[in-house]
């Protein structure tokens, strides 16, 4: 049994990768990180195998699909800053994986992908495909991110001559679109 191991033996097994670094409660309501011995009952942490104390996404146990943690930045019209949602996705997510993650954040039926510059690096933005047609409000923060790549290459252009984002937008902290 795991709890019968001494601290030194437990650390050696964890360091050597010989065992999982977390325990999920049998009823699925909590996750315990074996690196810091803290337990979280936050369902987002449980779903994403995340330890808020260690700030790490645990690697799934053998037999589970290989998922990696990433941040989803959700920009709402009128908001001063994004909502950051930590999720786990396959290394190369499928279109269905992205739909499941993105569409609820956009409150939309379909999304459109846009290549953007985010924090100085190429990133993926997803917006409501029918945002303009549905008369959704202008999203200033998402529009600034959307326009950044173009304005970087064409600094003399007037930003207001460029298209703008209508409704919520989601930007990923890593490339997810292939």
- Return the domain boundaries, the chain: 2-56, 67-172
Global confidence as pTM: 0.66
- What is the per-residue pLDDT for 55? 82
What's the pLDDT score for residue 131?
96
Q: Region of 83 please: left (phi>0), alpha (psi -120 to 50) or beta.
A: beta
Q: Where are the beta strands (DSSP E) in 66-142?
A: 67-75, 83-90, 111-118, 121-128
Q: What are 142's two structure tokens?
A: 């998402």
pLDDT of 7? 57
What stretches in the chain show pLDDT beneath 70? Answer: 1-19, 61-66
* Token digits of residue 68: 């990696």
């Amino acid at each position: 049994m795991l709890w019968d191991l001494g601290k030194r033996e437990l650390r050696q097994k964890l360091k050597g990768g010989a065992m999982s670094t977390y325990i999920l409660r049998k009823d699925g309501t909590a996750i315990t990180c074996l690196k810091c011995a803290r337990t979280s009952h936050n369902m987002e942490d449980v779903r994403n195998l995340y330890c808020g104390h260690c700030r790490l996404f645990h690697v799934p146990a053998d037999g589970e699909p290989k998922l990696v943690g990433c941040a989803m930045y959700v920009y709402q019209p009128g908001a001063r800053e994004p909502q950051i949602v930590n999720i786990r996705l396959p290394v190369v997510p499928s279109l269905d994986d992205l739909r499941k993650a993105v569409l609820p954040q956009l409150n939309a039926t379909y999304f459109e992908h846009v290549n953007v510059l985010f924090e100085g690096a190429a990133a993926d933005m997803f917006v409501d495909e029918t945002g303009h047609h549905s008369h959704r409000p202008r999203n200033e923060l998402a529009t600034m991110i959307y326009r950044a790549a173009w304005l970087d290459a064409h600094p003399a252009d007037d930003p207001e001559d460029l298209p703008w984002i209508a409704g919520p937008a989601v930007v990923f902290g890593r490339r997810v679109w292939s």
